[in-house]
Amino acid sequence: MAKILIVYDSRTGNTEKMAGAVADGTRDVEGAVTTVTSVDKAKLDDLLAADAIVFGSPTYYGNMSGKMKELVDQTYNIHGELEGKVGGAFTSSGGTACGAETALLAMLQAMLVHGMIVQGRHDDKHYGVAAIEAPDDNETGLCRELGKRVATLAVALKG
């Protein structure tokens, strides 16, 4: 089984809703088992045990939340040990042109520095899913698709 870990930060509940939708998408993939946890409860051992990691954070000033950044900063203790794991990201923001893409790229950049495998999309939402405040039906569907894509790749690589 490929172990999928979804770590999210959510003050208003919007990013938590997105995490649930990403998890729903992973559960559509045979051979994947999913754990969803808040950043407050996430441990480095959780990241090490996972085959795929998806980070979800609100967008604050064009970046991930401080709590998510603190977790990412702690990964220097396990540098090199996340190599080959699948990664993905999602975010919620307060509006358009509020830095959602740069928040996604910040999370993905950390994954790439660790040697993780990040799959983009050619048609839309290239870096991950971004919602304005609470995710609507379309964004919820995109979150499910992100989860399915990450889990499918993780299962294939584990295979």
pLDDT digits (tens, 9 = 90+) for 109-147: 999 999 999 999 888 889 999 999 999 999 999 999 999
Binned at pLDDT 50, 70 and 90, residue 97 comes out as confident
> Quick one: pLDDT at residue 118?
97
CB atoms within 10 A of CB 130: 23
Tell me the residue type at 11: R
C-alpha dihedral sign at 5, 11, 20, 25: negative
Please say whether the beta carbons of 130 and 99 come within 8 A. Answer: no
Nearest C-alpha neighbor of 52 from the set 157, 139, 138: 157
Tally of domains within the chain = 1
Binned at pLDDT 50, 70 and 90, residue 35 comes out as very high
State whether residue 121 is helix, strand or coil: coil
> Quick one: pLDDT at residue 64?
98
Give residue 81's domain range. 2-158
CATH at residue 39:
3.40.50.360
> Quick one: pLDDT at residue 75?
98
Q: Tell me what the mean pLDDT of segment 36-49 comes to.
A: 98
Q: Tell me what the mean pLDDT of segment 70-87 comes to.
A: 98
